Amino acid sequence: QSTHNVYYIKPMSLWHKVAFLTSILVCIAVVLFFIWGLPCDMAQCGKETVNSLSWDRTLTGLELKGRMHLVGGNLIAILRGALWGKSRGVKFPAGGGGVVALLGKTGTESYWLKLSVLPRYIDCSMSELIASGVRTCLVVGENGYLAAIDPISGNRIWNVRTPNEKTYPQPKDIDVPVPIPDMDSDGIGDLVTLSRFAKGHHRLAFISGKTGVLIKEPPLSNDCIQVTDLKFDYTTSTVHFTCSTHIKSRQMSYEVKEIKSRTGKSSLDRVVIPEEEHLRFVEGNNSAGEHKVIVSNSGTCPNDCSVSVNVTDFRNRTIWMYQAQRTYIMSPVSLHFKHSISGFLLKIWQWHSPAEKETKTVDGISVELIKERIILVTFNKSGNMHVVNASQTDIIQLCYDNECQPHLSFQTQSALIADLNGDGTQELISYFVTYRANNDDPPVILDKHSVDQWELESRVRVVRLEAELPKLYEAVSKH
C-alpha cells in the first residue's frame, strides 16, 4: 500500500502580492537608472547619439583624386586605378578610372561606376542640371569624354554625342562646361565648353543639358593656336574666351542668339547653398572673417620645391607664417563656424630629405616617403589665434619617370567641410592615398617582388570638427 503526500501552498495575501510586484518594479527601475541615468540625462544622451558622426573608410586598389562632392547624402569622387602593386588592373584598368560614392553618414560604399577613360574632373554644383529633383553630376574625362550621372544611383543619364559627325565633330580635349540658360526650349539649362582639335581648328561646343546632344559647334578663328578661360555673361548672353596666337593673346566673344531671356545672374548662383555659405565654396577664396591666408608654392617637388604661408589680420599685418623646403601646401580651406570661430585648414605634404632615406630603384620605379599633416589656424570671437596639428600621416609614393602615385596634383583639394547629418555643425571630410608595404618590407628597401605585393589604398576620414573646436578652446584656456 503506497502513501501519497499532498502539499498545499497557501495563496499569497493581497499585501504579499503588492510587495512582490513592487520589488520587481524596483529592480527594473534600478536597471534603467544605471543604463540611462548615470552617464547623462536622457536629452543629452539622445543628442550625443545623433551628433556623433565620425568614421574611417579604406578603399583598396584605387587613387581618389580631386574634390569630393556631397549630394543627396552621398560623398562622390572620381578615381584612377593602381599603377603598381597587387591591385593593378583588378578593379580598374591601370590607365582607367571611374566614380565612387560613399554614404555620408556611415562611409558605406553606395555605388561604383567604371569609365572607359581616365576622369579628370567632376562637378556636382550646377543647379541648372536637375534629374529626378537632384542636381546632376558632370564627369569630364580624357579624349573629350563628358557624361552626366545621377548622383544618387550612379546611373548614366547621358554621354555627349553629335547628331551628325560631318557637321558637328565629336568634341575633343574639352574643359569643364559652363552652364548657360536653356537654348533648345526643353526646360533644362544647357552647357557650353571649348573643344580643342588641331591648331587653328578649335570650336565652341553647345550641349543639351537634358540629352547630351550637341546643339551646335561653331568654329573659332583659325589663327587661335590655343583657346582658354571660357566664361559666360548672363546679362548679354555672350560667351567670352581667350585666343592665343603666335604673337599675342586676345579676348574674343560669341553671342548666343538662341537664348531669349537675359538675367543678371552671377556665377555664384550655380552653387545651391545658403547665401551665408557662399564664401566657403568660392574657388580660390582665402578669407575667413578679418583674416587672410596667402600660400606660395614654388619649384618642382620633391627635390626642388618650397612653400611659404602668411596669415594676415584686418590691418594686413602678418600674424603667423610658415616656411619649409621640399614641401607643398594644398588649396587652403576657409573655416566659418558657429561660436564665432573662423580660420583656415592647411594640408601639407613634406618629402623626406635625401639624408633621411636611401631609396633604391627597380626598373625605374622609386619610392618617396612623405609626411602629410593637417594644420588648423583658428580664431575665436576674442581674436585669439590657435595653431593646432590636427593629424599626421605617413605616405608612400611610387614614381616612374614623371608619373607618381599618389599624384600631387590629384590631392590639392582632398579636404572638404560639410554638414553630413543635418545637425547644423560641420564635419571635416579628408582623404589621403598611399601604397602600403608588406609588414616585412621596409618602405625604403625596394625590389621588384616587394612592389608587386604592395597595395594602393585611399583612406577617407570624417571628423566632427566644428563640434570639437569649442572644447579645444576650453582646453587651451585652462593651460
What is the DSSP track for 9-67? Answer: PPPPPHHHHHHHHHHHHHHHHHHHIIIIITTS-HHHHHHHHHH---EEEEEESEEEEEE
> What mean pLDDT comes out for the span 422-426?
84
| Per-residue confidence (pLDDT) for residue 184, from 0 to 100 | 86
Between residues 93 and 261, the one the model is more confident about: 93
> What mean pLDDT comes out for the span 211-215?
92
The pLDDT tens digits for 80-133 are 999 998 888 888 877 789 999 999 999 999 999 998 889 999 998 876 676 556
The pLDDT tens digits for 313-354 are 988 999 999 999 999 999 999 988 877 788 999 999 999 876
Which residue, chain included where needed, has cell 570638427?
Answer: 465
| Per-residue confidence (pLDDT) for residue 135, from 0 to 100 | 73
The pLDDT tens digits for 176-209 are 899 998 888 888 889 999 998 887 789 999 999 8
pLDDT category at 265 given cuts 50, 70, 90 is very low
| Per-residue confidence (pLDDT) for residue 261, from 0 to 100 | 56
Give the up-direction half-sphere exposure of residue 214: CA atoms within 13 A in the CB hemisphere: 23
| Per-residue confidence (pLDDT) for residue 430, from 0 to 100 | 96
| Per-residue confidence (pLDDT) for residue 327, from 0 to 100 | 96
pLDDT higher than threshold 60 for residue 44: no
CB 321 within 8 A of CB 310: yes
pLDDT higher than threshold 50 for residue 272: no
| Per-residue confidence (pLDDT) for residue 280, from 0 to 100 | 36
Q: pTM of this prediction?
A: 0.80
pLDDT higher than threshold 50 for residue 39: no
| Per-residue confidence (pLDDT) for residue 352, from 0 to 100 | 87
What is the DSSP track for 185-208? Answer: SSSS-EEEEEE--STT--EEEEE-
| Per-residue confidence (pLDDT) for residue 74, from 0 to 100 | 93
287 — phi, psi (to 5°)?
-115, 145
| Per-residue confidence (pLDDT) for residue 130, from 0 to 100 | 67
> What mean pLDDT comes out for the span 390-410?
91
pLDDT category at 7 given cuts 50, 70, 90 is very low
